[in-house]
């Protein structure tokens, strides 16, 4: 709309200049008859190749008129260029005021119309979000029942492949539930200081049981504290360590280290081809998973003001690096002061 109005205003400006020239020429014609024109200057000149009753724009705005009983001389009626430019400036300001008023009205109506048209969508999204939160809460009861009955069944009949697969599926549902919960809720205001070493250890403990063929090592000073949201940051670490374990090779390793406000999680896994697309929703390079884990990691890192980068080589492994802000770190790194 702004572009369209600009074109219309420019076209109007061109017509106004043309109309101004026509009015000035008409006044000069009247001046030619009665010679009573305070606005213009009157002089005489030789005809040459000049045309009568035509407006010329040179150093001055001039029009030439014939003198009775004279073939070589003519009457010159002129307007100074400064006066002419002053009239043009008045036209510009008038059009500018009109353009500004129209543009303000269009912006106002556009905002009001946008709010009016988007309000049903916003209400629907709010209702959907509340519905999802309620569903997440209601998941707890059946999932707890499944886990309890699975444990009881396992005690009755012993180790069984089907029961193991069922438990694995339940854990996957719980992980997805926690991912969605962290994705929906705001964590920026709910922050506290956490011992980074303890957070990593608690995340690794269940993974060491699930992946006994992997070697987990931690190189983090015990004094380093991080100010962040516990649940959101815990979900970031859980997802990164889970991927590092899930897609690792036999007798591989996962190394977690901290130095100079940077937490690095390195694995000896399959590696990632498209490192630039890895944080896209539903993007995945393996058959396992649904491709939302790393997207949620990126979303939570942005929310917690944590930078994240990935370095990966196919067949060698991957490194995820988390960069913390100075104000979020307390304690002393073994290698460098923080």
pLDDT averaged over every residue in the chain: 83
| Euclidean distance between CA atoms 155 and 159, whole angstroms | 8
If DSSP codes are grouped into helix, strand and coil, which group holds residue 53? Answer: coil
> What's the pLDDT tens digit per position in 179-222?
666 666 655 557 889 999 999 999 998 888 888 899 999 999 98
- Residue 262 is predicted with a pLDDT of 93
Structure tokens at 232: 């959101």
> What's the pLDDT tens digit per position in 266-325?
999 888 888 888 888 777 766 665 667 788 888 889 888 999 999 999 889 999 999 999
In 179-326 the beta strands, taken as DSSP E runs, fall at 192-195, 215-219, 225-228, 253-259, 262-267, 307-313, 317-323
With cut-offs at 50, 70 and 90, classify the pLDDT of residue 330: confident
Structure tokens at 141: 């009861």
Q: Are 2 and 48 in contact (CB under 8 A)?
A: no
Chain mean position to CA 147: 42
DSSP string, 131-150: HHHHHHHHHHHHHHHHHHHH
Mean pLDDT to the nearest integer, 215-230: 91
pLDDT at residue 136 greater than cutoff 90: no
- Residue 134 is predicted with a pLDDT of 66
> What's the pLDDT tens digit per position in 26-71?
888 888 887 777 888 888 888 777 788 888 888 888 888 888 877 7
Beta bridge partners of 330: 225
- Residue 338 is predicted with a pLDDT of 46
Share of the chain above pLDDT 90, in %: 18
- Residue 337 is predicted with a pLDDT of 43
Q: CB-side exposure of 188: number of CA atoms within 13 Å?
A: 5
> What's the pLDDT tens digit per position in 100-131?
888 888 889 888 888 888 888 888 877 776 76
The structure tokens 């069944």 sit at 153
pLDDT at residue 238 greater than cutoff 70: yes
SS3 sequence of 18-30: HHHHHHHHHHHHH
CATH architecture, range 190-330: 2-Layer Sandwich (3.30)
CATH 3.30.565.10, the chain: domain bounds: 190-330
The structure tokens 């979000």 sit at 129
Mean pLDDT to the nearest integer, 327-338: 64
């Amino acid at each position: 709309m702004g572009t369209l109005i600009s074109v219309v205003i420019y076209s109007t400006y061109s017509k106004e200049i043309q109309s101004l020239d026509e009015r000035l020429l008409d006044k000069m014609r009247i001046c030619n008859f009665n010679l009573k024109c305070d606005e213009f200057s009157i002089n005489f000149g030789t005809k040459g190749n000049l045309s009568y009753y035509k407006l010329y724009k040179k150093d001055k705005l001039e029009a030439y008129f014939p003198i009775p009983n004279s073939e070589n001389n003519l009457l010159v009626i002129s307007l100074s260029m400064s006066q002419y430019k002053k009239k043009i400036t008045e036209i510009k300001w008038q059009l500018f005021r009109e353009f500004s008023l129209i543009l303000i009205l269009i912006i106002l109506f556009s905002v009001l119309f946008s709010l009016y048209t988007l309000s049903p969508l916003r209400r629907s999204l709010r209702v959907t979000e509340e519905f999802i939160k309620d569903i997440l809460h209601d998941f707890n009861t059946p999932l707890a029942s499944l886990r309890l009955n699975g444990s009881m069944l396992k005690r009755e009949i012993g180790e069984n492949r089907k029961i193991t697969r069922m438990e694995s599926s339940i854990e996957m549902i719980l992980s997805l539930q926690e991912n969605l919960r962290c994705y929906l809720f705001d964590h920026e205001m709910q922050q506290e200081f956490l011992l980074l070493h303890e957070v990593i250890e608690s995340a690794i403990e269940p993974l060491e049981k699930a992946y006994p063929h992997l070697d987990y090592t931690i190189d983090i000073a015990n004094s380093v504290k991080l100010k962040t949201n516990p649940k959101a940051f815990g979900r970031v670490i859980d997802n990164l360590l889970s991927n590092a374990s899930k897609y690792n090779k036999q007798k591989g390793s996962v190394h977690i280290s901290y130095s100079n406000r940077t937490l690095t999680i390195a694995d000896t896994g399959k590696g990632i081809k498209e490192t630039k697309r890895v944080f896209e929703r539903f993007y995945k390079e393996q058959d396992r998973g649904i491709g939302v884990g790393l997207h949620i990691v990126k979303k939570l890192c942005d929310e917690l003001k944590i930078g994240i980068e990935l370095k990966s080589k196919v067949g060698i492994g991957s490194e995820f690096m988390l960069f913390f802000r100075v104000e979020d770190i307390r304690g002393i790194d073994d290698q460098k002061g923080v």
